[in-house]
Structures are given as structure tokens and as C-alpha cells.
Structure 1
Amino acid sequence: MLILHKNNNINGLMEADAIIIGAGACGLMCAVQAGFLGKKVIVLEKGSQPGAKILISGGGRCNYTNLFASDEQFISQNKHFLKSSFTQWTVEDTINFFETYGITGKEKTLGQLFPDGKNARDVVQVFTDLCRDMEQEIRCDANVTDITTIDGGYEVSYEKNGKLKQLKAPKLVIATGGLPIPKMGATDFALRFARKQGLNIVETAPALVPLTITGKDEAWYAQLSGNAVFCKVSNEEISFEENLLFTHWGLSGPSVLQISSYWRPGESINIDLLPNQNITSLIEQERNSNGKTLLSTLFNRYYTRKFTDAMTKFLPVEKPVAALTKAEMELIHDTIHLFKVKPAGDKGYDKAEVMRGGIDTNELSSKTLECKKLPGVYFGGECVDVTGWLGGYNFQWAWASGFVIAQHI
């Protein structure tokens, strides 16, 4: 039911300092940090194992933070909200924490840190080993059904192995994540709970998600399926320079995933297919050295042959560069540097990395992440209206929010 109601007739000792619902990145970090402070917590996880989303992140390699993480790489109605958390738990803190337990970071690109010689399973094991050593309980296959206020705290009812059980604690942590990847056990638990308590929810949507193309151009994108192009993808708000991947249903790759968090249905995005160079200048240079060179030959220096062949739909690629007219040169420039796409939609939560939106940050204390209307209740991680870029940023928010909550439960 998840309806928070008060029951003054429940007696019995508290079984922990806090109950944490969700054994993802935020919940696990919170449990460990609470243990370091001598606090006893019990973690309830609906899935069959802790850290399920961590395990699949980065193709199983886990991009666990980013060297450049700051509030600038996050989307939120209050962009300043996470400054306090990032001051209390920094990127350096994340790096030092994992190094202490045998995981050294190796930068891949753009500040992305991956475990050097290890993987996502090793990241999860750091937390499960620490929880075991500090006797912090993680109870998997535990489906929370009800939350009740009691004198001095909260009682959480949950089903496990067909039996209904209860736990009591003075503090409650909601760290159940967002809506992406339902097959991994993602649910709307945090959002349903928050709504029933009258908390405001910022509209949610898939983020860091591939974009789809339909209509007359669909076959052209399908023709290029599997081809990647380094490009600059932008809208009126922001731009990203990374690889773009053509698929049989549309566009993916890091640049598209990044811009998807800023894209809204009905809007177009702009693609510069040759950033940091000018195609007009390259053609002029080729004209001066060998005007007989075909435009396709020039293109093949920068793109795959398959991509060049596909551009025949738009450009005279089999024409010598010396024979190109002024109008054709303008068309080539606009096609390469001002390629406009109007996506039909996105691939939804099944393919999204994260959720945009969530519990309004105005409902929470930025210093403690405690809910202003529900004393003793804390929200952290993806369920909050804090959404990071691709590349380890969302993990940094999860670790930081888990740490901050642990200091105050």
C-alpha cells in the first residue's frame, strides 16, 4: 500500500538505527558509511542480489565516477542542490574509498574512471564484504508492502519467501532508484511513496536514452546501422562532441545519449558530422592539389565507405571536387555541419541509463537529504530530481548522497 500512517500501539524495541530500502549504489554506500559510524542498518532489496544495476553498468566494467564531476554536469530544477553533497563527499573521496579496498581507477576518456583490471562485480563485492564485516544486514527478495509511523520511528512491512515480516527503526532511507531497466527490477516505489505523502514530483522521463527515427528517413538510418561517426550534437541549450552510432531504428552512441537528457518530444537536434574542421576548406585544398579527386574519395578519409555511399541520398559524392558548383558546395557544407534531425521519440525505460526528474529537491534538505515534511525519512540516488551526464556522474551522485544520509541517520 505504501500509505504512511500512524500507529501508536506498536510496541517493541527498534531493530536498527535505520532501515534502507534499496541495495543499489546509494543504499550500499549508505549502509557502509553508517557502519563506519557504528550505526546498525538493515537493507531491504526487492531483487535477488544487491547492486544489480551496478553489475551491468559500463558493460559490466562499471564507470564508477568521473574526474570532472561537479554540479555543472547535472540536470535538476535546482542545479545548486547537490553542491552540499559534493562538498561533503568529493570525487577524491570516491577514488580514495575504492583504492582502500583494492580498486584503482583507470581513466578511459573524458574523465571516466573504470576499475583497473577489475570489474563491476568487484565494485559490488567491496560493499557486500564491508557490510558482512560490520554486520550490516542486506535482505534480498524483500518486497516492501507498507510503511507505518510508530512512536519514535517507522515500521516497514515486507514480504520474503511468502511470509510477511516487519522491521522497526527511528530512521528510514528510500534509495530504490528510478524507472530505467524494469527487467533488472526497477520500480516506481520511491515515486509512489512520495506521491502518497503529498511530496511534489518533477515530471519524469527516460534520460541517457537512444532516439528513434520513423517515416521516410527510417530506411536511410537503417542502411547505416552499425556505423559510428565522431560528431558534435547540439540543441539551443547544450552540445556534446562524442561518437554517434547509427542504428536500424535511429541514433545512439555517447553524443546522442547525452543530448537525449536535454531533448523533448517534437524538438530537433543539430549534428555537425565533421566538428573542428571545415568541409568547404578541405574541398578547396583538394581542388588546389588534385581537382579530379571525387568527393567520395575525400569523404572516405573521414568516414566509413558505407557512410559515404549513404550520403548519395543528399550529395553528389561521385563528382570531382573541381566540378562542384557554388550551390553544391553550400549544400555539402550545410549537410555536413548543419545536419538536422527531428527524432520521433526515444527507446524508453528499457534502454535508458537513468531517469530524468523525480522527487523535487525542494522537498529535501540539501545538507542532510532528509525530507522536510517527513522527519526521519531520507531520499537519495536516482529517485531524486538530480540527473547526471553519461560517464560516471550518476554514480558520483549515488555515492555522495549515500554518504550524506549516513551521517545523519
Structure 2
Amino acid sequence: MTANLTKQSTFDAIIIGGGACGLMCAVQAGFLGKRTLVLEKNDRVGAKILISGGGRCNYTNLYTTHKQFISQNEHFSRSALAQWTVDDTVNFFETYGIEGKEKTLGQLFPVSDKAKDVVNVFTNLCNDLGQEIWCDTEVICVEQVENGFNITITRNDKQQILFAPKVVIASGGLPIQKMGATDFGLRVARKFEIVVTETSPALVPLTITGKDQPWYEQLSGNSIFCRVWNDRASFEENILFTHWGLSGPAILQISSYWRPGEHIYIDLLPGKDIIELILQEREQNGKKMLLAYLSNLFTRKFAEALVDYIPADKNLASLTKTELEDISILLHEFKVKPAGTKGYDKAEVMTGGVDTNELSSKTLESKKVPGLFFGGECVDVTGWLGGYNFQWAWASGFVIAQNL
């Protein structure tokens, strides 16, 4: 490898990371007449955008407020989300040819169902606005110097030092290493003695091990609409049984609020009362077997799996009050103690990151290091499943661009 230590200083800012936040930042800076350079480790930008929503890209959520974000400071996201609203996101994409269609719970997807259309909006705009994108570029280090920063990179097997008066860290978080995820943003923060809060995988499947695993494994592929909760949060969506535990939207949601060693609870019949349902049914058909009745409420396979916990061989008329109460607890407060999560490679995002106390909520600039900005997933702001994290990425990219 050869070294080329010539400094290049023709940019108003260098943006490290070509994901949702970095791309939005580059485009918005371009609208303001500022010239930026986006440095991307992968061979193309927008890697996580392209795989999001099964390749369809759930690019925002119509019901976004600060309340759908997890952070040590629950109010931190308010300013950015007010400066760049959901309406701004919708209008932005509509302006550049992407109409949205709403699916469940406010989730907005492109009518085309193609995530690449979202990425193309940014690459086309960057090209039109003269914003440079360098892919296959690895950033080695960021150093503060007089009037700005030196960024040492490796590109085309050559090492270079770039200079910019301002630097944006939009390098994402730890999930999905195969997509190029690293802890780069967190390392930069620590280097500048900026506090980083503890990180963990979020929006991630939960694992079940030991004596309980075979029970879940036999149900692999079964999906049930449930309410899943603990003492921090509650979500009503589908859960999916797998050979290693539990997945599905409701499980991914609660995983962000789960801590190792804790239980979660599942209401398998949300909004209903199984005791009332059984009492009503036995007035009409008391001889019906409990297993047959439950097979009408769930799949036969799931009902048969419940035989381990209920008097399935009894008819409805012969169920005692105690047995009915036990059935109610089982179905409305099904208790699960996960062994762990599937880790960062199966997580959609992470919790934790650059401490919000270290940043201005209005500009996302470091309080300790003027000219250094952090946006997107590397900040301790983590959204729910369903487009919220994209809205935070667009908003944080916009806010930073206004202050470069």
C-alpha cells in the first residue's frame, strides 16, 4: 500500500457513512449550497435501506412522535423530529417520484415496493447537486486539527488524508455486520472522550434454550396475533414461533425493552376473555372437548401443544373454576423467560450509543468538539419497528445539514 498524504480541503463537510442519515445530510447540505463528501465503506451506498422491509423499505411511519423512541433522554428526539416532520418526509419523496402507500400501523412503503427507488432518489440528487460519494473507502481515523479535522482513509489501496472544517458521523450501529456495520462511530466518540451509553441488540428475535426449547421448536412456523408485554412496554402484533425461540413483529418490538434474566408475557387472545368464551360455548355444547374448542381459536397444532398445560381430555361442562382460572392465566399471561437474543447479526437496530447529553438536541453537534456531528443510529435514539428509525435518520440528517 502506498501513502499519499496530500490534504484535500475542497469540502464544507465530510460525511462518514452512506446510509439513510448520511445521504439525507448530503442532499440537504447540497440544497443549501454546501459541498460535501460522503465516505462509504461498502461498494454502494444505502445497504440497509436496500434490505429494509424485505427489500421494500418502510421509509417512515405516519404516527411518529418522540414517544416511539427509546433513549436515556426521552425528549431528546423532539427537536429534530419537529424540524423534519413526517409530512416533510412524505413531501420530499413525492417530489422525487416516490408515492407512499400505508400498510398496518401507519407504516409507509413506496408504491413500487422497491427499496432501490429510495436509494436512487439520493444518488441522483447527490449527482445533480455536485455532492461526491466515495464507496469502497475505509476511514482509519478522525483527528481534530486547527480549523477542522483530518480524516485518514484507505481508498484504491492508497492511504490519504482529507481535511474538512466539519465532520458528520453517520456510520450506523452494530447490527448486521455482513452489511458493513462496525462500531466506528462509537470509537470516534470515545476517542474524543464523548460518553457512549451501553449498547445492545434491538428489534431482534429472542431465543429459548434448555428444557423449554422442544416445545417452541415443535411450533416452528406458527404465527399468532398476540399482546406481548413487560413492565416497560406492550405491543399487539403477530408473534412467530421458530425452532430456536420467538420472532415476529411483537417479539421484535418487546426485545428493545427486554433485559437478560427477565420474563415477558404473552396474551394469546388479546381483547377477549377465555373464561367468558368457554362459559358461553358450554351453554350450547357442554360436551365439546376442551382441545376441540381451542382448535377453533388457534391452529390445531398450537392447540395440541397446549395439551402439556391444560386438561385437554375434559369436556367444557366438566371444567372446574380452578381449571378455568388456570386456563385463563395460561392463555392471557403466558410467561416466557428468553435465554437471550439472536444478536447483532439478526437485529435491525441497537439501543444505546452516543450519549444524548453530549450533543445539542437542536443541531446534533458535539458539545465538547465543535464541528463534529453525530446522527442516525450511532446516537442513543432507537425507534420502534415500522419506519420510525428511518424517520429519525432523515430528521437527524436534515438537522445536521442546516448547521454545517
* Correspondence 1:302 to 2:282: no
Deviations 1:294-351, CA, capped at 9 Å, x for gaps: 2222212221111011111111223211121222211111100111111111100010
* Correspondence 1:35 to 2:22: no
Instruction: Provide the residue aligned with 2:142 in structure 1.
Output: 147
8 Å CA contact 1:103–1:118 kept in 2: the answer is no
Deviations 1:241-274, CA, capped at 9 Å, x for gaps: 1101111111111111101000000100111110
Shift of 1:237: 1.6
Task: Please say which of residues 316-325 and 188-197 is displaced more in the overlay.
Answer: 316-325
Alignment of 1:146-185 (within 5 A): 146-185=141-180
TM-score (norm 2): 0.97
Instruction: Provide the residue aligned with 2:218 in structure 1.
Output: 223
Among 368, 392, 398, the residue aligned to 1:397: 392
Shift of 1:135: 1.3
Percent identity of paired positions between Structure 1 and Structure 2 = 66
Q: Partners in 1 of 2:305 and 2:249 — Cα distance?
A: 22
List 4+ stretches of structure 1 deviating above 3 A: 10-13
Q: Partners in 2 of 1:129 and 1:11 — Cα distance?
A: 29
Alignment of 1:10-409 (within 5 A): 14-409=9-404
Deviations 1:70-91, CA, capped at 9 Å, x for gaps: 1000000011111110110000
Instruction: Provide the residue aligned with 1:3 in structure 2.
Output: none
TM-score (norm 1): 0.96
8 Å CA contact 1:15–1:167 kept in 2: the answer is no
For the aligned residue pairs, the C-alpha RMSD in angstroms reads 1.2
Deviations 1:35-86, CA, capped at 9 Å, x for gaps: 1111100000011110000000000000000000010000000111111101
Shift of 1:165: 1.6
Q: Partners in 2 of 1:395 and 1:182 — Cα distance?
A: 19
Q: Number of residues paired by the alignment?
A: 400
Instruction: Provide the residue aligned with 1:4 in structure 2.
Output: none
Task: Give the aligned residue type for 1:393.
Answer: Y
Shift of 1:14: 2.3
Q: Partners in 2 of 1:61 and 1:108 — Cα distance?
A: 12
8 Å CA contact 1:308–1:317 kept in 2: the answer is no
Q: Partners in 1 of 2:151 and 2:159 — Cα distance?
A: 10
Matched position secondary structure for 1:110: helix
Q: Partners in 1 of 2:14 and 2:334 — Cα distance?
A: 51
Q: Partners in 1 of 2:329 and 2:381 — Cα distance?
A: 36
Q: Partners in 2 of 1:145 and 1:135 — Cα distance?
A: 25
Deviations 1:126-175, CA, capped at 9 Å, x for gaps: 00010011111110010011222233211211001211122211110000
Task: Please say which of residues 139-148 and 67-76 is displaced more in the overlay.
Answer: 139-148
- Structure 1 residue runs of 5 or longer lacking an equivalent are 1-9
8 Å CA contact 1:293–1:320 kept in 2: the answer is yes
Q: Partners in 1 of 2:277 and 2:113 — Cα distance?
A: 44
Matched position secondary structure for 1:349: coil
Instruction: Provide the residue aligned with 1:7 in structure 2.
Output: none
Shift of 1:11: 9.1
